[in-house]
Chains A and B, each alone.
Chain A
Amino acid sequence: MRFLVSLVAVLVLMGAAYFGSASSGGQYLFGVIIPYAAIALFIAGVLYRVLGWAKSPVPFRISTTCGQQRSLPWIKNSTLDNPHGTLGVLGRMALEVLFFRSLFRNTKAQIHGRPAFRFVYGADKYLWLGALAFHWSFLLIFIRHYRFFAEPVPGAVLGLQSLDGIMQVWVPSVLITNVLIIGALVYLWGRRLVNPQVRYISLAADHFPLLLLLSVAGTGAYMRYFSKVDLIGIKQLAMGLVSFAPVVPDGLAPLFFTHLFLVCVLFAYFPVSKLMHMGGIFFSPTRNLANNNRAARHINPWNYPVKVHTYEEYEDEFRDVMKAADMPVEKE
């Protein structure tokens, strides 16, 4: 049901762009107005969300420690999993952001041999592998697209592209990232349908972005390998957009506008969705703080006085019994 809603939404979006871009007015709408609007929404939205997080203070240093603390000099501190200082935190964050270290720990709980039961927690790296394949492919594809927005195309981008196509199959040669991203997305979506636990927790807001990304990658790949769209015209449009002098050349394929529109939807949807985890991870207090609470005091900006029970109040209530028990008191 929740995946059906998402599937229908993505198909409707594709149809709208495919048929909507048929007229010249439609082409201007899908080629210029919507891209600008989407980018504006993306930038404003991301800023709004990130500033919103930044506005809330971090009252306590609550790092989740995943290794040995720094205490006695002869006990080895686990710098990356239980960082004591800034350098360790940077290392920990880099491992999280670039290699999804926490997800790498993933295990799968299984019950063996009922009724003489035994739990086994085997390593389960598939989610980690799928997530890593998707995110890295997406990043590289994103960078590769820079060739549409610059003339001459920077050597690094060209180098990346030829490295990506190193397999030399098909004409034009198949890019590894294309295969990986589609494979990873199919896996990530597939587990939301097949794994009973993950299906149970998945919302429409989980199916939709996966299907949207799949449609972006699918239309992109289709254009590259099968329909062979007018790359010169597309570059003309892209250069016009980035130089704020947009022109829509004639003869651009509806499939291209579909691809572009899906990307625009992705951009516009990004700030109001869970995709903001991209920014959020940098703000996660359990990961981005050192576990040095006992060495350096953390300040809570809204720390306020609370009602406490003072020693004087305590002694006032218990003075007689304390004296009777020969315990020292402040006031006789």
Chain B
Amino acid sequence: MAEKKLKPEELVQIELSPPAREWMDPSVNFRKGTWNYAAVPDTLDYLGLPNAGKWSPPDEEWPLPDNWQEIIHNGIKERLEKYRSFKVFMDICVRCGACADKCHFFIGSGDPKNMPVLRAELLRSIYRNDFTMAGKVLGKIAGGRKLSKQIIKEWFYYFFQCTECRRCSVFCPYGIDTAEITMIGRELLSLLGLGIEWVCTPLANCFRTGNHLGIQPHGFKDSLEFAVDELEEITGIRVNAPINKKGAEILFVAPSADYFASPHYYTLLGYLALFHELGLDYTWSSYASEGGNFGLFHSHEMIKRLNSKIYMEARRLGVKWIIGGECGHMWRVLNQYMDTMNGPADFLEVPVSPYTGTKFEHAASTKMIHISEFTADLIKHNKLNLDPRRNDHWVATYHDSCNPARSMGLLEEPRFIIKNVANNFHEMPENTIREQTFCCGSGAGLGTDENMEMRLRGGLPRANAVNYVKDKFGVNVLLCMCAIDKATLPPLLEYWVPGVEVAGVHELVGNALVMKGERPRTTDLRGEPMKGFGDAAGEEAQDV
């Protein structure tokens, strides 16, 4: 993308029929726009990760350690012994092809190695060759390939062209989960020192400062105070945003982009308004100032190393339970890994809403609930004064983020909230939402500028569904509950579906929330005029 700007009508010339070249040929063309920069050695060294080197993916020779083959072989062996998922998924694929056209990268690029089945075969062929009898005896006929440096490059290219979104796993008759295979594939690459900058730098940042962006405690405080000022300007109410407050009832953890990026920022304003209006006894933490976890895009060990902060901080601050903000992969970690890795959280209490008395039994062990569960419960019990007309300038649709949809099943809570805070809501076609939702195309650490062509391709199925509801219902905002979505969907939509904005669910909650003592509102949290709330003359002008 850097030199030549591809036009949408060029990019969409996609050929879904495979080429003549057999997939077993591992050669890869590192075309500009389709790969991510390599991790810088400093970050790997800081994290104590092995074999850091200076290199770039298009380089002919990659700086592999001398015993790289042994490292990979032993790495596979170890993981076969540790993960039943990996072992079973290596063995039972029948290549029925049901997954083939379920991957957004395949649909958007037509590259056959982006069919989930072949992405897995890239690793499976080595497994067969090294670990199965059929592969040892029959070699290529049994689908085995001998490990080569070229195959390492191929792995790097394609395991960093998977967003671990799990859509293929929904359709697989055996539940084979490519995310699991990609995660193991990336772990193997990281044993050789091969990672990407946009994953490893946030890891190092998060380890040191508590958040991916590397914001230090005072900067964190500044950001929140800035948001408090901004909210006061809009509502006339000065809210409190306590940080590192010992003895608070609740610890609140959100993805760091919420307090540092746009349009995430308006969701932050929504949180702050909501918590103030409730009078919630809560605290932010600068040490655990990241809900997201890029460890998920690197290795199981890194997930655990970063995630540990949340419980450690909850213990230090002496809170009773935890609420988590709007984020996708964060919730995969919190729902499927946190308790196993860093629990038990027996020093916390089962979450109980102070306003409705609802006991969140489904979080009885982790003691951590999603903010949309918290808010949906409040709305259901009529605890919020909401005026959905304040969102009448929006015609909304909702994008289920991959992880909350397919690794959790958080489907109805956000919809319930949206329907209560906005009057105009339309679903995208059914094969593109809920458990069948399409990824933004930039998750799992792939949301970089240098990877823009692949992102636009991967995000095309999502954008295309947005385009459908834009044409049909005049949708002008895509709601979502994921920090990566909020960062990467705006450029995606600008390219494919100009005129549709991206917003968080709690941004719309913040718009609709009528706060006690607020000044008459004419603008939403973005400072944009709201339909029907301006003076009459201004209103006429806006309606054009």
A307:B48 contact, CB within 8 angstroms: yes
Contact residues in A for B177 (Cβ distance below 8 Å): 62, 64, 286
Report the bound CA distance from A124 to B467 in whole Å: 24
B410 and A106 within 8 A (CB): no
Contacts of A284 in B (CB 8 A): 85, 88-89, 92, 174-176
**Assuming A56-B84, A71-B373, is B95 touching A65 (CB within 8 A)?**
no
Q: Are A72 and B142 in touch, CB under 8 angstroms?
A: no
Q: CB < 8 Å: which of A58, A106, A310 contacts B98?
A: A106
Q: How many residues of B contact A (CB 8 A)?
A: 121
- Tell me whether A311 is interfacial, beta carbon within 8 Å: yes
State whether the Cβ of A100 lies closer than 8 Å to any Cβ in chain B: yes
**A63 CA / B92 CA spacing, docked (Å):** 17
> Interface code B392-415, partner A: CB below 8 Å = 1, 0 otherwise?
000000000000011111111100
Question: How far is B170's CA from A287's CA once the two chains are assembled, in angstroms?
Answer: 10
B100 → chain A closest CB, angstroms:
5
State which of A111, A203, A293, A311 has its C-beta within 8 Å of the C-beta of B313.
Answer: A311
- A225 CB within 8 Å of chain B: no
Instruction: Given A65-B405, A69-B410, A72-B376, answer yes or no on A201-B100 (Cβ-Cβ < 8 Å).
Output: yes
Q: Is the CB of A108 within 8 A of B101?
A: yes
What DSSP secondary structure best describes chain A's contact surface? loop
A64 to B301, CA, bound (A): 21
The reply on A327 being an interface residue by CB < 8 A is: yes
For A286, the chain B residues whose CB sits under 8 A away are 85, 169, 175-177, 180
Q: Which chain B residues in 54-109 approach chain A with CB under 8 Å?
A: 80-89, 91-98, 100-102, 107
- Check B17 for interface membership: any CB of A closer than 8 A: yes
**B4 at interface, CB cutoff 8 A:** no
When the two chains form their complex, are residues B173 and A96 in contact, meaning their CB atoms are under 8 A apart? Answer: yes
- B287:A56 contact, CB within 8 angstroms: no
Q: Which of B92, B409, B410 has the most C-beta atoms of chain A within 10 angstroms of its own C-beta?
A: B409
Cβ of B216 and Cβ of A318 under 8 Å apart? yes
Decide if the interface of chain B is mainly helix, strand, loop or mixed.
helix
User: Once the chains are docked, how many angstroms separate the CA of A11 from the CA of B191?
Assistant: 46
A100-120 interface with B by 8 A CB criterion: 100, 102-103, 105-109, 111, 114-115, 117-119
Return the CB mask of A64-106 against B: 1 if under 8 Å, else 0.
1111111110111010011010000000000010001011011
Residues of A with C-beta under 8 A to B360: 71
Q: In the assembled complex, how far is the CB of residue B176 from the closest CB belonging to chain A, in whole angstroms?
A: 7
In contact, B416 and A75 (Cβ under 8 angstroms): yes
Contact B115 A197 (CB under 8 A): yes
Given contacts A106-B98, A198-B97, A325-B217, contact A298 B80 (CB under 8 A): no
Given A102-B170, A198-B97, A201-B115, decide whether A109 and B107 contact each other with a Cβ distance below 8 A.
yes
Give bound CA distance, A122 to B23, whole Å.
Answer: 27
Kindly supply a per-residue 1/0 record for chain B positions 234-250, scoring 1 wherever the CB is within 8 Å of any chain A CB and 0 otherwise: 00000000011110000
Contacts of A293 in B (CB 8 A): 335-336, 339-340, 365-366
Interface residue A291 (Cβ < 8 Å from any Cβ of B): yes
- Write the nearest CB–CB distance from B41 to chain A, whole angstroms: 19
Q: Which residue, of A196, A295, A315, has the highest number of chain B Cβ atoms within 10 A?
A: A295
Q: Is B280 an interface residue (CB 8 A)?
A: no
* Beta-carbon contact of A321 and B95 below 8 Å: no
Q: Is the CB of B339 within 8 A of A328?
A: no
CA distance A61 to B143 in the complex (A): 30
Contact of A327 among B173, B175, B244 (CB under 8 A): B244
CB-CB < 8 A to B174: which residues of A?
277, 280-281, 284, 287
Which of B84, B93, B117, B380 is in CB contact (< 8 Å) with A74? B380
A187 within 8 A of B: no
Report, nearest first, the 3 A-B pairs whose CB atoms are least far apart: A69-B409, A280-B92, A325-B218
Which residues on B are within 8 Å of A, measured CB to CB? 9, 12-14, 16-18, 23, 48, 80-89, 91-98, 100-102, 107, 112, 115, 117-118, 121, 132-134, 141-143, 166, 169-177, 180, 207-210, 216-218, 221-222, 243-246, 286-287, 300-301, 304-305, 308-309, 312-313, 316, 334-337, 339-341, 343-344, 358, 360-366, 368, 373, 376-377, 380, 405-413, 416, 429, 431-432, 434-436, 460-461, 464-465, 467-468
Question: A56-B83, A119-B461 given. 4 additional CB < 8 A pairs?
Answer: A2-B141, A200-B18, A280-B92, A294-B335
